Amino acid sequence: MKLLIVSPYFAPSSLVGAQRMTSLARYLADQGHEVHVVSLTAETMERTTDASCHSAPPDGVVMHPFDLPVEKANVFTNESARVMAFMKVLEALLKQETFDGILMTLGPFFPLHTLQKFSREYGLPYILDFRDLGSVERIRHDSLGSYIRTSLTEFYTHRLERSAVKDAAYVTVVCPGDVARMQKAYKIPDDKICCIFNGFDEERLHDMMPQSAEEGVFKIGVFGKFMIYNPAQGPMILKAVDRLRKEGINAKIVHVGVGREDVLETVKALGVAPECYEGLGILDYKEGVEIMSGCDMFAMDYVHPTGLGTKIFDYIHLNKPTLVVAPGNIHFADFVGQFEHCFRAETGDEVYAAFRKVIDGGLKTLDDSVEVDRFSRRHQNKHFAELLECHFARK
């Protein structure tokens, strides 16, 4: 199979949004498929994300990078410039190479503007992978009233996405709850859509050096965003740790990821002991997982109605007890409910009680019977490969 992947954010970017297609491209190349990737240049990725690019693109993958012009104040001018930049590189590539199909991951969404044109012109089937739900996320209900309440831009975007979905060979999303949302918005039949998780990235953890638990310290690991998804309830985790410390338990949160400065401000505002929180900022994925491996349990806060906090897969991989501060009526609550020692809390007392259950019960695992590999990127990539071969492989 000769596949073209359109993924604006890709290696050398190390951000979460780039890893899904980077991992898949590596897997497919290792399986003997010819993989080409259209992505932004490292310079453009750094400029648009404020994050350095230092990971190596996969071996055996042919890269076709392109730049985006510097952003202007006018949103319409920006979008038009992005569309033209992508159209130029795609048109040049399709004039030189013949592919069996295109896999486009979204967002950003500007590549959609020209996808159908080239698909028809070159007879190319395509699959759409919605990492983000675009206008479905912004237009909460697929109704006339919702359209009226949105801007003309959103209305146009929704129509563009609906048309692209209609012509797609297949559609994938990253969260089980998003399947129903996409089906409702775009009238997608059951046999044309599925969920493929993100998963933990075992390829980047081959030479990982796990850390041992620190004697005399009860460490609660937070990997990723903290108190960003749920700023109202996230501080309850800090308060519960402070309560444990006042009872003589040397507990602290070890945080790797986004939100460090905001959490430090919250620590001051709440008046909790500074020792409750150790913020390490954003680190390389492997280094972050190594630090998390030395923790006694994990914690996260989440409120999205249909999403999954991506770092839950790293928690499953490390298989430690986990606290989730989240309402019970969201899909994430259903997902984590399958694990024996994943404790969901909505109040400060429930957060504290979960910590005590782990400490007093000497709990060491998330679930003794969990099939860890089922939540790996390798497992998800195998699913993706089967799907691509079904729709794109030469007859």
- Per-residue model confidence as pLDDT tens digits over 117-136: 999 999 999 999 999 887 66
Q: Which residue has the higher pLDDT, 143 or 107?
A: 107
Residue 40: pLDDT above 90? yes
Which DSSP string do the residues of 294-339 spell out, in sequence order? Answer: TSSEEEEE---SS---TTHHHHHHHT--EEEE--TTSHHHHHHTTS
CA-to-CA distance for 235 and 291, rounded, in angstroms? 22
pLDDT, the chain, mean: 91
Model pTM? Answer: 0.87
Q: Which residue has the higher pLDDT, 159 or 4?
A: 4
Residue 153: pLDDT above 70? no
* 2-199+376-392 matches 203-373 in fold: yes
CA-to-CA distance for 375 and 266, rounded, in angstroms? 33
pLDDT of amino acid 142: 47
Burial call 361-380: b when 16+ CB within 10 Å, e when fewer: eebeebbeebebeebbbebb
Beta strand pairing status for 297-301 and 170-173?
unpaired
> Taking a C-beta distance cutoff of 8 angstroms, is the pair 342, 336 a contact?
yes
Residue 93 CB-density burial (10 A; 0-12 exposed, 13-18 middle, 19+ buried): middle
pLDDT of amino acid 395: 53
Q: Which residue has the higher pLDDT, 269 or 15?
A: 269
pLDDT of amino acid 131: 92
Domain 203-373 has CATH 3.40.190.150: no
CA-to-CA distance for 249 and 149, rounded, in angstroms? 52
Burial call 180-213: b when 16+ CB within 10 Å, e when fewer: ebbbebbebeeeebebbbbbbbbbbbeeeeeeee
Three-state SS at 64: strand
The CA distances from residue 121 to 61, 95, 99, 115, 285, in Å, are: 25, 11, 13, 10, 41
* Phi/psi-derived region of residue 75, left when phi > 0, alpha when psi is between -120 and 50, beta in every other case: alpha
pLDDT of amino acid 74: 72
Quote the longest CA-to-CA distance of the chain: 70
Q: What residues are paired with 322 via a beta bridge?
A: 298, 342
pLDDT of amino acid 166: 95
The tens digit of pLDDT for each residue in 304-332 reads 888 888 899 999 999 999 999 999 999 99
User: Would you tell me how many other CB atoms lie within 10 Å of the CB of residue 258?
Assistant: 15
pLDDT of amino acid 62: 97
**2-199+376-392 topology per CATH:** Rossmann fold (3.40.50)
What are the boundaries of each domain within the chain?
A: 2-199+376-392, 203-373
Omega into 107 within 30° of 0, i.e. cis?
Answer: yes
CA-to-CA distance for 225 and 146, rounded, in angstroms? 30
What's the mean pLDDT in 52-68?
Answer: 91
**Token pair for 77:** 């001018």
